[in-house]
Structure 1
Amino acid sequence: MQRINKNVVLALLTLTSSVFLLFQLYYYKYYLSPKNGPAFSRVKGSQSGQDNTRWHVVKKFLNLVSSHNVPVYLIDPLVLGLINKDVKQLRSSSDGSSPECKYFCAPRDFTTFALLDKTWKHETGLFRSAEKMGFQWLKIQSKDPRLEGMDDLSGIEIPLHYIFRLASHAIHVVVFYERSGNYLWHGQLRLKQHMDRKFVPFRKLHFGRYPGAYEKLVLLPVSIDELKVQIPKNPSQFLEEMSHARFLECRYREARAFFQLYPDDTSLDAVEFRKKAKALLHLAALTLNNLGVRFWLSSGTCLGWYRQCNIIPYSRDVDLGIFIKDYKSDIIPAFWKAGLPLKHKFGKVEDSLELSFQREGDVKLDIFFFYEEDDHIWNGGTQAKSGKKFKYLFPKFTLCWTEFVELKVHVPCETLQYIEANYGKDWKEPVKTWDWKSSPPNVQYNGMWPVDEWDDVIQVY
């Protein structure tokens, strides 16, 4: 009897040890391994365990969001760059099968996806499931700029970025919001004091250093590396947008402080002018955008945006800037077709070109063309009666997006330097008397147009 009991005990111990060993192997594979390093089985054609980890992390993330009906799409610039080379083939391929892991195994620290806010309700269930799958996650949120204005500067906090970390790879989800200018916007990734700054190498993120603005996307479902994802239908266009997507928010707090010192003009004339100027700006933007011509708010229109988040009611015109390299001969006919006849044309493409358009009794549109030199940028001016030429010097600048009178439009990124060049250090003080030939601090006399060229360089209609 004692002998039988020993055998039974020995068998039970053996069985228990075997079950415990199997449990350890399972726990290591599905819980410890993802947190401490790559230990996944190899996907076909991958080059190393590290490559394989990236693919498996992406696969797990896609399974996670799919199970919670979260419609993400791929915007990772490194992966999209690879996809762009094969986009025609991928469009025609039914399953995206390939002999190797070509896209999601490419070396990188992150894979970036986007999420349109209105397509998803923020549910805690997603994050609970993520934790069960081994993910650690971080949510970055900030105030909603769409709710800010002259009357309300508070805003409520909205999610801007999510980061899901598993093993040695991370998924960055950028949240896009629709803005009133009919475009998509994402916010800056700013870590709050209590957040772990070593959670991932944040400096390597492709999105979030600045807010960004993009055109609305048409998405294309594809299958790559045996994973089904959605990508921008035109990856090259999206990548081009990404290179100059930086967005500047209107400075409502500063504008409010300005109006406390200088109350806004709310007269009927001012309201009517702003209404007409807004309509003109929208028409000009539509016309130039259809031509593919980049432009930005310049002169008094730019000052109005930067100083008071509105059109200056006594400016009496709308001012735009265009680099001369972007000039197209179709500009004048396009504005004529849009109902804006040419009022005057000064200068020539090679020197000091300036165009003005105006319907009878309406607001005038001035377009100044800018010329780039080694250390500065300039635009010209011409006095029609005398043939005198003037030059306005600006420090070099780049272009950023902003929203102005419900329009997505460019402004100089280095706005303060641009405005100070044109209006000096006292730009905050309203000046209603302005002489374009002498008031700007950056104006220079630039000689005379030869009399025999006047018919070409001084055209008034």
Structure 2
Amino acid sequence: MQRINKNVVLALLTLTSSVFLLFQLYYYKYYLSPKNGTVFSKRKGSRSGQDRAQWHVIKKFLGLVSSHNVPVYLIDPLVLGLIHKDFEQLSSSSDGVSPECKYFCAPRDFTTFALLDKTWKHEVSLFRAAEKMGFQWLKIQNKDPRLEGMDDLSGTEIPFHYIFKLAAHAIHLVVFYERSGNYVWHGPLRLKQHVDRKFVPFRKLHFGRYPGAYNKPELQLLFIDDVKVQIPKNPSEFIEEMSHSRFLECRYREARAFFQLYPDDASLDAMVFRKKAKTLLHLAALTLNNLGVRFWLSSGTCLGWYRQCSIIPYSRDVDLGIFIQDYKSDIIPAFQKAGLPLKHKFGKVEDSLELSFQREDDVKLDIFFFYEEDDHMWNGGTQAKSGKKFKYLFPKFTLCWTEFVELKVHVPCETVQYVEANYGKDWKVPVKMWDWKSSPSNVQYNGMWPVDEWDDVIQVF
């Protein structure tokens, strides 16, 4: 057999390597070609090719949704934080031309946008177009909690999140839904078994670990890094809202099991009370929200929400909690202006403050103010006829949103611990005979009010 010339072999290897390199360059150029809208600009200030690449992915995504009339808006906290620093300058700029890629080129693995569900139709054409542009996409869906209730626990599945990935950057699209409490809500990001856990770094996503509740957004159109995009009108306010957005659903399954053991009171008196209590709760929420005062469902009202998704008909009042640092002197006149006269005022701002409002022959509203110690929180109680003081101890807690009687309202996130502190381990069993001085599991005697202070700390109207 004739001996193969070494020079021929070397030439063939060189040719093969060159063809492979050209193929790689062609493939790279194809995905970053002008027809796909992703040519790198020669703008100054871009940190690296990777930073510029993510800007092009964002621009490409916005072009995709715009061509399909899908009105998304930016909710990425990192980018919004950068925008907030230059908000006035960006708001006054009409063309958005920037000498550098300052906002969308900030290093990160993904950029987050939001979409109001009612503003678009779930069109297959959008996802087909995304695939043609080189995107891989993933839909995460789950049951619609808005359809759940005492009579139906089989909510239909709806989209909660979409992920669009191109090269090394991903777009996280969070779907918001309107709820009956006049707010918007997004669901959790729960991966099903068949989903590729390595598709994106899911643990780094800002939205999805918990469901979230937000006020309906006001949007503003800006030109940012040569890209036109909608953002929340007040970026810093949205970022602050995001940090306290965690949402807890009412536990309808547990509530239905509760009513199987303890049938609901369907009497006329019970229905009338629930209607009045709901009206009172809405009025109290409106009044406190207008003052900018945080509050939450407390005592029997919180127990009713958590145990049976309803107002307890024999409770005879509505109970709210407020942190003492959120107290405002406008609270009493605001409620009186709303048609709720003060029934009693016990304690003082420095110690055991408690307010009660009630119209004649109507449901009573009790507001308990909570004080924080090193390892617990507490609210006070006062016996008017004796001047005795009482203290109710709770483990420290944070606040979450929920929906109750068609109202977006706060409850303690650590609800079980909160309820058990007040009602003990047997909180699932109804107790109709209740003494506020001795029945609670967390009550302590706290001394006496000095007689010379009674006129100030024990006021009954």
Q: Are the aligned partners of 1:43 and 1:101 in contact in 2 as well (CA < 8 Å)?
A: no
Q: Are residues 1:107 and 2:131 paired?
A: no
The amino acid of 2:78's aligned partner reads L
| Partner SS for 1:138 | strand
Specify the alignment match of 2:3 in structure 1.
none
Quote the Cα distance in structure 2 between the aligned partners of 1:248 and 1:295. Answer: 16
Match of 2:374 in 1: 374
- Corresponding residue of 2:188: 188
| CA distance, structure 2, for counterparts of residue 32 and residue 420 of structure 1 | 59
Q: How many residues align?
A: 439
Q: Which amino acid letter does the alignment assign opposite residue 44 of structure 1?
A: R
Residue identity opposite 1:290 in structure 2: N
Q: Tell me by how many angstroms 1:24 deviates.
A: 6.8
Q: Mapping of 1:12-411 within 5 angstroms?
A: 25-31=25-31, 41-45=40-44, 46-411=46-411
Determine helix, strand or coil for the equivalent of 2:347: strand
Match of 1:425 in 2: 425
Q: State the 1:25 CA deviation.
A: 4.5
Percent identity for Structure 1 against Structure 2 = 87
Residue 70 (structure 1) shift? 0.6
Instruction: Give secondary structure in 1 for the equivalent of 2:217.
Output: coil
Q: 1:67 to 1:20 in 2, by over 3 A?
A: farther
Q: Residues 40 and 52 of structure 1 are in contact (CA less than 8 Å); yes or no, is this contact kept in structure 2?
A: no
Give the superposition deviation at 1:32.
9.1
What is the CA-CA distance between 1:54 and the residue it aligns to? Answer: 1.1
2-structure distance, mates of 1:358, 1:316 = 12
Letter of the structure 2 residue corresponding to residue 337 of structure 1:
K
- In structure 2, give the amino acid aligned to 1:375: D
Counterpart-to-counterpart distance in 1, 2:23 and 2:60 = 22
Q: Secondary structure at the match of 2:274?
A: helix
Answer with 439-448 or 82-91: which moved more. Answer: 82-91
Deviation at 1:22, TM superposition (A): 8.4
Answer whether contact 1:30 1:134 (CA < 8 A) is retained: no
Q: Which SS does the other structure have where 1:191 is aligned?
A: coil
Distance of 1:24 and 1:180 partners within structure 2: 54
- Tell me if structure 1 keeps the 8 A contact 2:347–2:354: yes
Alpha-carbon contact 2:32-2:39 (below 8 Å) kept: no
8 A contact 1:41–1:52 mirrored in 2? yes
Whether the 8 Å contact between 2:354 and 2:381 is mirrored in structure 1 is: yes
Q: Compute the displacement of 1:23 (Å).
A: 8.0
Aligned-partner SS, 1:259: helix
Bigger mean CA offset, 288-297 vs 82-91: 82-91
Give 3-state SS (helix, strand or coil) of 1:356's partner: strand
Separation in 1, partners of 2:24, 2:174: 37
The offset of 1:43, in angstroms, is 4.8
Displacement of 1:40: 6.6
User: Could you tell me which residue of structure 2 aligns to residue 440 of structure 1?
Assistant: 440
User: Aligned partners of 1:68 and 1:219: how far apart in 2?
Assistant: 20
What secondary structure, in the 3-state scheme, does the structure 2 residue paired with 1:329 have? coil
2:334 alignment partner AA: A
What CA distance in whole angstroms lies between the structure 2 residues aligned with 1:234 and 1:197?
34
Q: TM-score, normalised by structure 1?
A: 0.93
- Worse-matched range after superposition: 39-48 or 121-130: 39-48
The DSSP-based 3-state class of the residue aligned with 2:199 is coil
Whole-Å separation in 1 of the counterparts to 2:414 and 2:175: 26
- Measured after TM superposition, the shift of residue 53 of structure 1 is 1.1
Residues 283-327 of structure 1, C-alpha deviations (whole Å, 9 max, x = no match):
000000000000000000000000000000000000000000000
Gaps (5+ residues) in structure 2?
Answer: 1-18
Deviation at 1:30, TM superposition (A): 2.8
**Residues of 2 paired with 1:40 and 1:349: CA distance?**
63
Q: How far apart, in 1, do the equivalents of 2:25 and 2:200 lie?
A: 28
Classify the secondary structure of the residue corresponding to 1:64.
helix
TM-superposed deviation, 1:90:
1.1
Q: Please report the RMSD computed on the Cα atoms of aligned residues, expressed in angstroms.
A: 1.7
